[in-house]
Amino acid sequence: MSNREKDRIRRWLKQNLKSVPLPTSIKEARANLEGLSSWVPLPPDTRVEAVIAGGVPGEWVGAPGAASDHVILCLHGGGYTMGSSKATQVNASFLSAASGCRVLVIDYRLAPENPFPAALEDTIAAYRWLLEQGISHSRIVLVGFSAGGGLALSALVSLRDTHVALPAGGVLISPWTDLAGTGESVVTRAEADPWLTDEMNRFHAALYANGRDLRHPLISPLYADMQGLPPLLIHVGSDEIMLDDSKRVAERAKSAGVEVTLEVWEGLWHVFHAFAYRLAEGKQAIEQIGEFIRKKLG
- The residues carrying an active-site annotation are 146, 240, 270
Dihedral of CA atoms 219, 293, 289, 232 in degrees, nearest 10, equals: 40
Q: How many other C-beta atoms are found inside a 10 Å radius of the C-beta of residue 39?
A: 8
What stretch of H or E contains 62? strand 56-62
From 279, 292, 298, 195, select the one nearest 243 (Cα to Cα).
195
* CB neighbourhood size of 157 (10 A): 19
Contact between 104 and 130 under an 8 Å Cβ cutoff? The reply is yes
What is the amino acid identity at position 186? Answer: V
Nearest-angstrom CA–CA distance, 106 and 151: 12
- Backbone dihedral angles phi then psi of residue 284, each to the nearest 5 degrees: -65, -40
For residues 211 and 205, what is the distance between their CA atoms, to the nearest angstrom?
A: 10
SS3 state of residue 2:
coil
Please give the Cα distance from 161 to 218 (Å, whole number). Answer: 11
What does the DSSP assignment read for 232-248?
Answer: EEEEEETTSTTHHHHHH
Per the CB < 8 A criterion, the answer to whether 103 and 60 are in contact is: yes
What region does 293 belong to: left with phi over 0, alpha with psi -120 to 50, or beta? alpha
- Residues 189, 240: contact at Cβ < 8 Å? yes
